[in-house]
Amino acid sequence: MGTAGPIGLLAWLLALLLVLLLLGAMPAWAQQNVRVPVEQDGRTVQLSAQLFRPAKATAAVPAVALFHGCGGPGQNTARMAGLLASWGYAALVVDSFSARGLKDICGRNWPTPAAAAARAGDIDASLAWLARQPGIDARRLAYMGYSYGGGVAMLRALSGTPDDRTPAAARAVVLVYPDCALADALGPRLVVRQPVLFAMGALDDWTPVAQCRAVLERVVRGRELVETKVYENAHHSFDALGLAVRYLDGVGNRSKPGGCCGAHYGAHEPAWKQFVVDVKAFLDKALTP
């Protein structure tokens, strides 16, 4: 048997390096298409969802359910789910629209507060579904909402009366540039029952920071559980990487008189990077066993 020689050895080393690079590029999570049943108006709606799991989990893991904005599930929710799985969390990206025949509801007829309150049931159903799954720690659940979905998540997180001591269904909530105008339906005295992170862009004119600060002023119990992060020079959808900031003149906007119209949105990479750091630190602290 002859030796490989310098050229053969070099080729073998390059092949090995390529394999190692490919292995390193492989995602540290597994993805599965699932259905989440939601009871609505006397019937069961099967919501489409994607479940991301850490690839090498050896014990039950905490889980986070993600709820999209008015444009439906997108790259931002999928990207965050992959990050969560790489951090050791299961992540459930829930599609609240397709099973209901909806696609993009960002136009002039933005969702009503009643529609948002009804969608809050998707959060309850998703958390209950996660709690039943093998390999998921039902004691360590959280949920995240984006924009309109963030407003819906806020409705669920701040529901209850000042004398209500019922434990929250989730250990933590992340509200990403949430539609805080939806809180008008909750009343003047709000309660926070679990750690909540508000993550917002300082230049957001679609779901402005001022609206969320006005909501927090109404919190009469649990204010110490709230963290607020405001990212300078960032607009709405600061996590839409690769999308230059632009103005949409036809979108509904609850922050304007009559709820119409127009807003800026687009990426701001420094805000996104800091947001990732903030979310990981928040969840790691809130979901610690």
The whole-angstrom separation of Cα 289 and Cα 286 is 9
Phi and psi dihedrals of 42, rounded to 5?
A: 80, 10
CA distances from 66 to 21, 31, 144 (A): 30, 14, 5
Looking at residue 111, its pLDDT comes to 82
Neighbour count for residue 40 (Cβ, 10 Å)? 16
Looking at residue 10, its pLDDT comes to 54
The whole-angstrom separation of Cα 160 and Cα 40 is 21
Domain that holds residue 252: 27-286
Phi and psi dihedrals of 43, rounded to 5?
A: -135, 165
Residue 22 lies in a domain: no
Residue 219 lies in a domain: yes
Residue 104 lies in a domain: yes
Closest among 197, 199, 204, 185 to 253, alpha carbons compared: 204
Residue 72 lies in a domain: yes
The separation between CA 228 and the C-alpha centre of its own chain, rounded to angstroms, equals: 16
Whether cis (ω within 30° of 0) applies to the bond prior to 261 is yes
Which residue is associated with the tokens 């991301």? 52
The whole-angstrom separation of Cα 204 and Cα 147 is 11
Looking at residue 27, its pLDDT comes to 62
The whole-angstrom separation of Cα 219 and Cα 112 is 23
Alpha helices for 132-195 (secondary structure H): 148-157
Closest among 204, 217, 279, 268 to 242, alpha carbons compared: 268
The whole-angstrom separation of Cα 135 and Cα 36 is 17
Neighbour count for residue 244 (Cβ, 10 Å)? 7
| 191 bridge partner residues | 221
Residue 12 lies in a domain: no
The separation between CA 245 and the C-alpha centre of its own chain, rounded to angstroms, equals: 21
What's the alpha-carbon Rg for the chain, to the nearest Å? 21
Q: What is the mean pLDDT of each run of 10 residues along the chain (289 residues)?
A: 45 46 54 94 94 90 97 95 96 96 84 88 96 96 97 91 73 97 89 96 97 96 96 98 95 88 96 98 95
Q: What is the count of structural domains for the chain?
A: 1
Looking at residue 149, its pLDDT comes to 97
DSSP 255: T
Looking at residue 162, its pLDDT comes to 65
Residue 146 lies in a domain: yes
Closest among 160, 152, 157 to 111, alpha carbons compared: 152
Residue 14 lies in a domain: no
Residue 52 lies in a domain: yes
Q: How far apart are the first and last CA of the chain?
A: 58
CATH code for the domain in which residue 171 is found: 3.40.50.1820
The helix/strand/coil state of 87 is coil
Alpha helices for 192-268 (secondary structure H): 209-216
The whole-angstrom separation of Cα 183 and Cα 212 is 9
